[in-house]
Amino acid sequence: MNDVNNVVLEATGVQYQMSFDEAAFFEWLNKIPSVDSYQGQRFTLYIKVIVDALDEDALHELAALYRRYRIDPRELRVLNTGRLGYWFSSPDRWWHNEVFGTDSTATDGPNLGEKHALSDNADHEWAVGDAGTHANMWPPVEIAEFMKEGNAVLKATGVRYYSELDEAAFFEWLDKNPQVDSYRGRGDTLYISVNVNIGDESELSEFPALYERYNIDMTELRVLKSGNFGSWFSDPKWWWHKAVFG
């Protein structure tokens, strides 16, 4: 229940592909200072947000988190309150169309942008595009010298991040995986050196989860077919098979 000082966001049916994926979500949430607490009930996570503690960065991060995890953007309408309500609901914000829409007779409050059947976002989904994103551009460096013999080298090209915490979550995900020996960027591509002969299957399966979450070309993962878990990784029964191997 919302009151003058707090609002409660709902996140229903969030899908996590692997354990690192779920951990990234909650670690990101824990880093937003205005998030007071959260509690799950059945398929919905209820997130208590302190309105007076909200600033523009926190509002940006909440929108980015919901976008990254494909949570119904309409749930963010409750943030249209307090001293930053006008800023959050401004058409200048990259999230405005998905959260508030364009078909409404309401001018303020959480019902701003109530959707009609013929709305341009009737399915209440986040748009796929570069609006509100940033990417890394690294200087030209020699990549081969830091790759270990026998390792697979993954490429992640043109990764787009929705916020600072979104970018941090990506690299923390990589750092958690013991199969990742190192990584280095050149131009718009991150090169990831992976020891495919250590660890276990669950750690290897974190790579498809990461690439799917960050909209990276899944065919780059074909190089993981080498090593101790090659036949396991390329088994057609896995959810990533079609995206990786066609």
Output the CA angle 160-40-55, nearest 5 degrees.
50
- Sequence-distant (≥ 6) Cβ neighbours of residue 63 within 8 angstroms: 73, 76, 93, 94, 95, 99, 162
CATH number of the CATH domain containing 191: 3.30.70
Between CA 155 and CA 186 the distance in angstroms is 10
Total domains, the chain: 2
Between CA 94 and CA 151 the distance in angstroms is 40
Would residue 124 count as lying in a domain? no
Between CA 98 and CA 123 the distance in angstroms is 10
pLDDT, tens digit, 9 for 90 and up, residues 145-160: 777 888 999 999 999 9
pLDDT band at residue 4 using 50, 70 and 90 as cut-offs: low
Lowest-pLDDT range, 26-30, 67-71, 130-134, 191-195?
130-134
Residue numbers of the domain that contains 190: 144-245
Are 149 and 231 members of one domain? yes
Backbone dihedral region for residue 190 (phi beyond 0: left; psi -120 to 50: alpha; all else: beta) = beta
Q: Which residues pair with 50 in a beta bridge?
A: 6
Would residue 192 count as lying in a domain? yes
Are 91 and 182 members of one domain? no
Domain boundary among 67, 100, 133: 100
pLDDT, tens digit, 9 for 90 and up, residues 222-234: 999 988 899 999 9
- What predicted TM-score, i.e. pTM, was given to this entire model? 0.90
